């Protein structure tokens, strides 16, 4: 998989959903649905509402994203 065209933005967790899914409000006030990335899921890094996270999104689907880092 190529990392070309990946958009990285910061956001804040506003709601925790089942199956490690989260509603995230980005810094530009857009709300998207995100899931945890592979390393975060593997190492069982916990994320709660109010945490600031770094999200990567595909330019083809701006409504979904992957959480890659908790700040």
Over the chain (71 residues), what is each successive 10-residue block's mean pLDDT?
A: 83 96 97 94 94 95 95 93
Q: What is the 3-state secondary structure (H, E, C) of 7-41?
A: EEEEEEEEEEECCCEEEEEECCCCEEEEEECHHHH
CA distance 65 to 9: 10
Q: How confident is the model at residue 3, as a pLDDT?
A: 76
- Single pTM value for the model: 0.89
The structural domains of the chain, ordered by start, are 7-70 (2.40.50.140)
**What pLDDT was estimated at residue 4?**
83
């Amino acid at each position: 998989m190529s990392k070309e065209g990946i958009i990285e933005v910061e956001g804040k967790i506003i709601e925790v959903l089942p199956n490690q899914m989260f509603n995230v409000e980005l810094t530009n006030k857009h709300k998207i649905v995100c899931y945890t990335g592979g390393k975060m899921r593997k190492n069982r890094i916990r994320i709660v509402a109010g945490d600031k996270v770094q999200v990567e999104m595909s330019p083809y689907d701006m409504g979904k994203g992957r959480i890659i880092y908790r700040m």
